[in-house]
Amino acid sequence: MSKFFPSELIKAKRRGQTHTKEELEFLIQSYTRGELPDYQMSAWLMAVFFQGMTSEETALLTEQMLLSGSQLDFSDLPTPAVDKHSTGGVGDKTSLMLAPLVAAAGVFVPMIAGRGLGHTGGTLDKLEAIPGFSVNLGLREFAEQVRTVGAAIIGQTAEICPADKKIYALRDVTATVESLPLICASIMSKKLAEGIRGLVLDVKFGSGAFMKTVEDATALATGLIEIGKHRGVKVRALLTNMNQPLGRYVGNALEVEECLQILRQESTDICALNDLHDCQEVTLRLAGEMIWLGDKASDPEEGYAMAVDILKSGQALTAFEAMVARQGGDLKSLPKAQFRRTWKAPQAGYIKAVDVEKMGLAAIELGAGRLKVTDTIDPVAGLFVHRKPGDKVEAGDPIVTMFASSEKHFDSAEKTLAAAHEFSLNSVPQRELIERVLGAV
């Protein structure tokens, strides 16, 4: 591999040239082995930030990141293994329900999930709110559970895409995170390592998403779909609205509670089942796609109908309980917050818009998330959203209820919530929940 000079490769990218497979192999594998120094990789990453990559190049980069570590192999299974990836939102707990629901349809779901950072939550943090639940299975144990239970959700392991782990840490401290090809390669390399043959993407747009506009979300979705094509993995992308939190609950144990309400199809004292419609609907739509990709339905619509049956019949709940039990979780002792306070409408009118990122930050103030990777999470902290954009309110109506282990952050979180809400005297049209579907047919 010594035929390459790293500084010449950096210069080529700086000039906007396209790398060959061999060049990317050299850059990624020698960096992973510790031969290419950080300072050359970071200069290259910044050149990529400015000059971009072709879709072919991005696919080759993804492949090299994938090849830097272990890959799961489910090719002996009778039907394709399938997974879902969300680009991250506030209140997005669909993965918890999806994996068991789709498994109940006979689809194999090997899900390697992430933690929350910044204003969005993480699937692993939500699962860990369930006492005893372990996300730290080894790859062998993980694969075994997928084969026997149908679904498993674990955290990133050291064997999967070590190149991505190392490069991501470097991007984080060198201002090279916001690069579309680097984002696409990072996401897809980890997903492809799961040994899947189908992938559904939930690409969020709006004030609570990383991509603020439909256009940006489309660009990201398109980039991810292209990589899938290159690797022979069918990818579908739903562009979903993150101009309001998904569902009513934000926070780790609270979101598990919301999942249970949906899976049990029950209303509670605080929340009517109908209030959870958007979260349920996105889950069912994603499930329909996965069931189709997993060869258990002839199209996503049939998959959707199957998903509805599985949910209504209680099979999804049973599958969820089985998965949680297998990973050591005890749903009966889900923790609850000792303190709550409700922020009420300061005026009558309509909720015009919500800054969902700010709402996510209010939840973090209460302890529901982390701003730094070293922050710890309080599983019981979070929000219940009584009113959403477009809703009519009278002065004094409850808008958001805060939950926490102490009252000390209620004042500041309430200020953040107030700053996140915009009111209007006139009714306000709201956007569709699912804006667009892209990808394989």
Is 234 among the residues known to form the active site?
Answer: no
Is 42 among the residues known to form the active site?
Answer: no
Are the C-beta atoms of residues 316 and 97 closer than 8 Å to each other?
yes
Are the C-beta atoms of residues 393 and 345 closer than 8 Å to each other?
yes
Closest C-alpha to 279, from 82, 120, 89, 85: 89
| Closest CB 6 distance from a copy of itself, rounded Å | 7
Q: What is the dihedral of CA 141, 146, 150, 154, to 10 degrees?
A: 80
Closest C-alpha to 425, from 354, 353, 355, 352: 352
With CB under 8 A as the contact rule, which of the stretches 37-45, 237-245, 271-279, 299-307 interacts with a copy of itself?
37-45
CB-based contacts of 107: which residues, under 8 Å, 6+ apart? 79, 81, 82, 150, 290, 291, 293, 294, 296
CA distance 417 to 362: 6
347 contributes a contact to a copy of itself by CB under 8 A = no
CA distance 81 to 78: 9
Is 19 among the residues known to form the active site?
Answer: no
Nearer to a copy of itself, 14 or 230 (CB): 14
Q: 3-state class of 61 per DSSP?
A: helix
Is 171 among the residues known to form the active site?
Answer: yes
Helices (H), 155-264: 162-173, 180-192, 214-230, 252-264
Largest separation between any pair of C-alpha atoms in the chain: 72
Rg (CA), the chain: 22
Nearer to a copy of itself, 170 or 273 (CB): 170
The pattern of x and - marking residues 12 through 31 that bind a copy of itself according to CB under 8 A reads: --x-----------------
Count the residues of the shown chain that bind a copy of itself, applying the rule CB under 8 A: 24
Residue from 1, 17, 22, 37 touching a copy of itself (CB under 8 A): that is 37
**Out of 13, 119, 165, 190, which one is annotated catalytic?**
190
| Closest CB 276 distance from a copy of itself, rounded Å | 38
**What is the bridge-based pairing of β-strands 109-113 and 151-155?**
parallel
| Closest CB 253 distance from a copy of itself, rounded Å | 33
Residue from 40, 70, 265, 318 touching a copy of itself (CB under 8 A): that is 40
First to last CA, the chain: 40
50 contributes a contact to a copy of itself by CB under 8 A = yes
**Out of 13, 85, 197, 296, which one is annotated catalytic?**
85
Closest C-alpha to 429, from 358, 351, 357, 356: 351
Is 264 among the residues known to form the active site?
Answer: no
10 contributes a contact to a copy of itself by CB under 8 A = yes
| Closest CB 46 distance from a copy of itself, rounded Å | 4
Residue from 24, 46, 250, 417 touching a copy of itself (CB under 8 A): that is 46
Are the C-beta atoms of residues 212 and 412 closer than 8 Å to each other?
no
The pattern of x and - marking residues 156 through 175 that bind a copy of itself according to CB under 8 A reads: --------------x-xxxx
CA distance 317 to 135: 20
With CB under 8 A as the contact rule, which of the stretches 5-13, 131-139, 373-381, 395-403 interacts with a copy of itself?
5-13
Nearer to a copy of itself, 40 or 318 (CB): 40
43 contributes a contact to a copy of itself by CB under 8 A = yes
Residue from 39, 158, 301, 407 touching a copy of itself (CB under 8 A): that is 39
Nearer to a copy of itself, 176 or 416 (CB): 176
With CB under 8 A as the contact rule, which of the stretches 39-47, 157-165, 207-215, 364-372 interacts with a copy of itself?
39-47
**Out of 83, 92, 125, 164, which one is annotated catalytic?**
164
Nearer to a copy of itself, 39 or 346 (CB): 39
CA distance 253 to 185: 32
Residues catalogued as catalytic = 85, 164, 171, 186, 190
List contacts with a copy of itself (CB under 8 A).
6-8, 10-11, 14, 37-43, 45-47, 49-50, 170, 172-176
